[in-house]
Amino acid sequence: MFDDSWLEDQQALGRADVGLRRLAEAGARLRREIGEAEEPLLQIGQLDRPRAVIAAGSEARFIRAMLEPVCPVPFVAWPAYGLPGWVGALDLVVVMASEASSPALVATVHEAVRRGAQLLIACPPASTIADHAGSSSTILLPTATADPLAAAIVSLAALHRMQLGPEVDPWQVADAMDQVATDCSPYTDVAENPAKDLATGLAEAQPLVWGGSVLASRASRRVAEALRAASGRAALAADADELIPVLESAAPRDPFADPFVDAVSADRRPALVILDDGNPESPIRTADARLKATAERNDARVCVIQHATGSDVERYATLLQTGMYAAVYLAVGLGRYLES
């Protein structure tokens, strides 16, 4: 059972201090990473435009979501071991390895160096993967915080300097992260805290998470992963056409249901979580309206996380961080942190 009083209980919240503190420090980590990368970023504008860009490692799909609409050369997010067969000296391989490097990612870096490709790698300077990356064609963006998103944002700043991606201001993104930390602080009560409010809305529900734009969709999958880990329940992130049948199949709400019995039922009612980054495109607004109408028709709760100002990366980071805070508060309300 979800106990919303724990969201205001500083002792209960204290047991989630590690997760909450890491979220609160996201802006500071990004500032540190961009500061560490200042010198190599100055060299990047001198590089020739590559024939193609291949991204590997954590957050490669986020990089793809940012680059695909504007990149003037072909772009590939490569999740597999090694590299595509056509990659050579004319291409740029971007690797994000701010955390511990897997053998597959080390092999990818080794292969990029062997083929003479340009290599842009974000990783700790004293690491196995940095040792394999050493070559005259490598630019290393040193990382120190093991934060994949911070490393990806610094990599985006580098790609913009190479005229391969959109303009990104990491300092403004860090400020946006700080604002989320303020809005979602454990010391802010439910009435004014969007993350606690979302956790309360998902107290006994099955979350269905949707984001209409490419970036909001990417954030929705990350938020759904966090909600699954926090609650131990199924949480689905998908397109509108895939979520609508789930909403329509929900059994009618029983006004006489016993909350102490039915709350623990495996057949939880769905709750729709919409991540809205303010994208005005007609297909997105139409899908948004369809989802809300379907949820209303089937008496399903609708929870909206909205942020429509700032750059694409600022909006993405705000939606993602708010959802991550909500996952922590959901775990607190369910007592899952109390067990540790």
Question: What does the DSSP assignment read for 241-276?
Answer: HHHHHHHHTSPPP-TT--HHHHTT-SSPPEEEEEEE
Q: Would you say 124 and 98 are in contact if contact means Cβ atoms under 8 Å apart?
A: yes
Note whether 239 and 97 are same-domain residues: no
Note whether 197 and 331 are same-domain residues: yes
Q: Would you say 141 and 121 are in contact if contact means Cβ atoms under 8 Å apart?
A: yes
Q: How far apart are CA 272 and CA 285, in angstroms?
A: 16
Query: Would you say residue 22 lies in a domain?
Result: no
Q: Which of 169, 199, 225 is the last residue of a domain?
A: 169
Q: Which of 169, 198, 226 is the last residue of a domain?
A: 169
CA distances (Å), origin 215, targets 27, 121, 320:
19, 23, 10
Query: Would you say residue 202 lies in a domain?
Result: yes
Residues 6+ apart with CB under 8 A from 158: 37, 40, 41, 44, 120, 139, 141
Q: How far apart are CA 215 and CA 213, in angstroms?
A: 5
- Token digits of residue 107: 């092999």
Q: What is the DSSP string of 35-102?
A: HHTHHHHHHHTTSPPPS-EEEEETTHHHHHHHHTTT-SS-EEE--SSS--TT--TT-EEEEE-SSPPP
Q: Is 119 left (phi over 0), alpha (psi -120 to 50) or beta?
A: beta
Note whether 237 and 94 are same-domain residues: no
Note whether 120 and 214 are same-domain residues: no
Query: Would you say residue 21 lies in a domain?
Result: no
Domain coverage including residue 253? 4-16+186-339
- Token digits of residue 279: 């994208």
Determine the pLDDT at residue 340.
44
Could you give the angle at the alpha carbon of 112 between the alpha carbons of 148 and 149, nearest 5°?
Answer: 10
Condensed to tens digits (0 to 9), the pLDDT of residues 258-288 reads: 555 555 444 689 999 999 999 999 999 999 9
Condensed to tens digits (0 to 9), the pLDDT of residues 280-313 reads: 999 999 999 999 999 999 999 999 999 999 999 9
Query: Would you say residue 177 lies in a domain?
Result: no
Query: Would you say residue 119 lies in a domain?
Result: yes
Query: Would you say residue 47 lies in a domain?
Result: yes
Total domains present in the chain: 2
Note whether 199 and 295 are same-domain residues: yes
Determine the pLDDT at residue 257.
59
Determine the pLDDT at residue 267.
60
Query: Would you say residue 319 lies in a domain?
Result: yes
Strands 53-57 and 75-77: parallel
Note whether 160 and 128 are same-domain residues: yes
**What value does the CA radius of gyration of the chain take, rounded to a whole number of Å?**
21
Indicate which CATH number applies to the domain containing 316: 3.40.50.10490
Low-confidence ranges of the chain (pLDDT < 50): 264-266, 339-340
* Sign of the dihedral through C-alpha 101, 228, 311, 191: negative
Determine the pLDDT at residue 259.
54
Note whether 147 and 213 are same-domain residues: no
Note whether 8 and 50 are same-domain residues: no
Note whether 190 and 71 are same-domain residues: no
Burial class (CB in 10 A: 0-12, 13-18, 19+), 153: buried
Note whether 141 and 192 are same-domain residues: no
Determine the pLDDT at residue 266.
46
Q: How far apart are CA 64 and CA 71, in angstroms?
A: 9
- Token digits of residue 69: 């609409």
CA distances (Å), origin 293, targets 211, 214, 271, 283, 297:
16, 22, 13, 15, 6
Burial class (CB in 10 A: 0-12, 13-18, 19+), 252: exposed
Burial class (CB in 10 A: 0-12, 13-18, 19+), 340: exposed
Query: Would you say residue 175 lies in a domain?
Result: no
Could you give the angle at the alpha carbon of 327 between the alpha carbons of 184 and 198, nearest 5°?
Answer: 60
Note whether 193 and 328 are same-domain residues: yes
Q: Which of 123, 142, 169 is the last residue of a domain?
A: 169
> What percentage of the chain exceeds 70 in pLDDT?
94
Note whether 335 and 222 are same-domain residues: yes
